[in-house]
Amino acid sequence: MKKFILAISLVLLYNCGFYSLKGSLPAHIKSISISPVVNESPEFGVSENVGEQISEMLISENVLSVTNEDVADSRLNVTIKSVLDKPYTYSAGDTYEQVEEWRITLKAKVVWYDLTKDEAFFDKTISSWGAYGTGADISTDNIDNDGDGLVDSDDDDEFGSPRESALEVAIRKLSEDIINEITSTW
């Protein structure tokens, strides 16, 4: 009896041990094309950076094969709706408040289409942000610019112009959120 239970346990462990997220994709979805990112914001160059970041992440994660639309099973459309800078924290001055920290928020409409069945897997608005101070260098602003719990020299992505670095953080986070949305749709 012990040998029977052990054998059943081994079979169950072996079969469940090789679970893959890719296996839960619809059988006909093996590839994705990424349409050129549309930029409806006044922020120059943001669409190219978002498109590159998404492509790089899809390739490095090996989620789906990235191909041209004429041979792809699915298509990702991203439209940058806005890039907004808003004051985030203030300090009390002698006669007025002063902005200490800004938050740049990137908002995008994201649609992932099943080209075979001509229907959307999802159609969502996704936002991400990066924070920056009023100083000249993001690596000395004592701000957690990307919400990862690390500040300045402890964080490897805090360098350069504060606003540009915060925008890069927002782009990276937006791209990660889009990839997470694709993988959680399965």
pTM of the model: 0.76
Q: Write the CATH number for 60.
A: 3.30.160.150
pLDDT at 70: 93
pLDDT at position 12 over 60: no
Q: Which domain holds residue 122?
A: 26-185
Q: How far is CA 108 from CA 56, 69, 186, in A?
A: 18, 21, 21
Give whole-number Cα distances, 22 to 15, 17, 30, 79, 123, in Å. Answer: 16, 14, 9, 26, 21
Retrieve residue 158's tokens. 């805090």
What confidence score (pLDDT) does residue 22 get?
Answer: 45
Output Rg (C-alpha) for the chain, integer angstroms.
22
Number of residues written out for the chain: 186
Asked if the structure places residue 5 within a domain, the reply is no
- Indicate whether 18 belongs to any domain: no
* pLDDT tens digit sequence for 49-98: 999 999 999 999 887 999 999 999 999 999 999 999 999 888 877 778 88
Provide the pLDDT confidence category of residue 145 given band limits of 50, 70 and 90: low
Q: For residue 181, tell me if it sits in a domain.
A: yes
**6 falls within a domain:** no
Q: Is residue 153 in a domain?
A: yes
- Report percent pLDDT > 70 for the chain: 73
The predicted model gives 35-62 an average pLDDT of 95
What is the pLDDT at residue 19? 40
Structural domain tally of the chain?
Answer: 1
127, pLDDT greater than 80:
yes
Q: Is residue 57 part of a domain?
A: yes
